[in-house]
Amino acid sequence: MASDNTTKACMALFIAGLFIISALVVIPVDTDGADGAGFTIMDQKGNKVSFDGPVDHIVTVGKGITATVIQLGAVDKIVVADKYSNTDESSLFDAFRARVSEGKATAGGTIFDSGRESLKAEIIDAADKEKRFDRAKDVVLLTGSDTYLVKGGLIDFLKNEGFRVLVWNDVYECDDIIALVKDISMIVTGKVSSDVDDMKAVKEKVSSKLSENGI
């Protein structure tokens, strides 16, 4: 990424993180390897999923997760996302909307009561009917409130169906957003994206300037 675009790229990823819905802290990524080697990701709830390398396909539930995967250049790996990732009018989501239009991905469900069954059906179809998703190798990334993910039964449903699931609730702090981007970059590329270092540099520069001005 060109240096003059660093700030824009980092802020786009920061904004993507702000789409995520509720109120805790991301547990830092646990990487046992890089550059295609095996690694393990631990989510906010302490769930661990091990990977032999980057996934071929992914389910992204939450605009922040979808946006981050797109920013990392892996939109072609998304086979299912939530409805809001498809209806957001930002040009960032154009490539994903094109996949939906071409029948390469679906995005009709949500984590909420009115859309949960549609989301479940689309994920099941991606694995069983369309054969686009491998339960044993790929992963479902979920974001949102436990009211809908836990009490609504979505997490348990997916796990009982044999899907590998990673879950985050709230990601608002700068360091937590950077950690989540690091997680996702490992999952979709098998290595830590250079964007992570760019984001850290932006944070340090902003913090330094604020400190210089007594803020």
Q: Which residue has the tokens 């604020």?
A: 210
Residue showing tokens 């071929």: 56
Q: Please tell me which residue, 159 or 215, carries the higher pLDDT value.
A: 159
Helix, strand, or coil (residue 56): coil
**Averaged over 112-136, what is the pLDDT?**
97
Vertex 196: Cα angle to 192 and 200 (nearest 5): 145
Asked whether the beta carbons of 115 and 86 are under 8 A apart, the reply is no
pLDDT digits (tens, 9 = 90+) for 66-90: 999 999 999 999 999 999 999 999 9
Given a contact cutoff of 8 angstroms between Cβ atoms, the answer to whether 19 and 170 are in contact is no
